[in-house]
């Protein structure tokens, strides 16, 4: 009897299960996967690492399934206590993924824990900096902000590709290039035309 499980099917099933009532987070993970594959490719990683990072990206927000719906689906700004609960999706995600005993899900657990760390040390939950942050989490951090900027929210419109890229590369009052690994930012900048195609399809006339 064949007993081995295909890791891509397991990851897809976990994502569907965790986000059964939260289509936006499910779709967010699905959109992030090819973007992170692309960034990992541009960073020169090997084929297995590229695919592994894609799985990490698909599952990075899995901890959100532990949040109360009043926080997860709140249309307006979060109160300080609600924000604190939201930040806990990192450690919750780590807790959900860490015990499968599969190296790719161990990697996904670490990425879930650290994808809101910042390269300059100003992120959460641990405030670690630089290459102490696992590479999948450093890659996800850039793709995560891009996807958030491209997405409409009750309190903000979606930005177009050019505006989202410029904001990530130049910063504003919330986002700063110092938050990101410079090597991942360079991969993002050079890969931006291909990322635009993932979101917008081929340019008209192209």
Q: From CA 32, how far away is CA 13, in angstroms rounded?
A: 16
**Count of beta carbons in the 10 Å neighbourhood of residue 106:** 14
Task: Tell me the CB-side half-sphere exposure of residue 155, using CA atoms within 13 A.
Answer: 7
Nearer to Fe ion, 5 or 84 (CB): 84
Q: In whole angstroms, how close is the CB of 127 to Fe ion at the nearest point?
A: 16
For residue 159, the 8-state DSSP code is: P
Per rule CB under 5 A, count of chain residues that contact Fe ion: 2
Q: Which stretch binds Fe ion (CB under 5 A): 35-43, 57-65, 66-74, 194-202?
A: 57-65
The least distance separating Fe ion from the CB of residue 1, rounded to whole angstroms, comes to 38
Pick the closer one to Fe ion by CB: 25 or 187: 25
Specify the stretch interacting with Fe ion by CB under 5 A; choose among 3-11, 96-104, 117-125, 136-144: 136-144
Binding mask 16-55 for Fe ion (x = CB under 5 A): ----------------------------------------
- Please identify, using beta-carbon distances, which residue of 61 and 181 lies nearer to Fe ion: 61
Out of 42, 52, 61, 72, the residue judged to bind Fe ion by CB under 5 A: 61
DSSP secondary structure of 91-148: HHHHHHHTTS--HHHHHHHHHHHHTT--TTS--SSS---GGGS-HHHHHHHHHHHHHH
The torsion angle over the Cα atoms of residues 175, 106, 72 and 164, rounded to 10 degrees, is 30
In contact, 85 and 68? CB cutoff 8 Å: yes
- State the nearest-atom distance from the C-beta of 61 to Fe ion, in Å: 4
Q: Which of 53, 97, 113, 144 binds Fe ion (CB under 5 A)?
A: 144
Q: Given the rule CB under 5 A, which residues bind Fe ion? A: 61, 144
């Amino acid at each position: 009897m064949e007993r081995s499980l295909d890791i891509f099917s397991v990851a897809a099933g976990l994502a569907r299960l965790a986000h059964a009532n939260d289509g936006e987070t499910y779709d967010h993970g699905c959109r992030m996967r090819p973007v992170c594959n692309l960034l990992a490719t541009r960073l020169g990683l090997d084929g297995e690492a590229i695919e592994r990072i894609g799985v990490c990206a698909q599952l990075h927000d899995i901890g959100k399934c532990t949040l109360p719906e009043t926080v997860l689906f709140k249309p307006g700004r979060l109160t300080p206590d609600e924000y604190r609960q939201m930040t806990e999706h990192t450690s919750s995600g780590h807790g959900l993924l860490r015990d499968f005993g599969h190296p790719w899900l161990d990697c996904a657990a670490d990425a879930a824990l650290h994808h809101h760390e910042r390269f300059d040390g100003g992120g959460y939950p641990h405030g670690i900096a630089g290459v102490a942050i696992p590479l999948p989490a450093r890659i996800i951090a850039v793709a995560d902000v891009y996807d958030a900027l491209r997405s409409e929210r009750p309190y903000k419109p979606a930005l177009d590709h050019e505006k989202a890229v410029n904001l990530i590369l130049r910063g504003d009052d919330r986002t700063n290039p110092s938050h990101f690994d410079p090597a991942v930012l360079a991969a993002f900048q050079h890969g931006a035309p291909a990322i635009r195609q993932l979101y917008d399809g081929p340019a008209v006339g192209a």
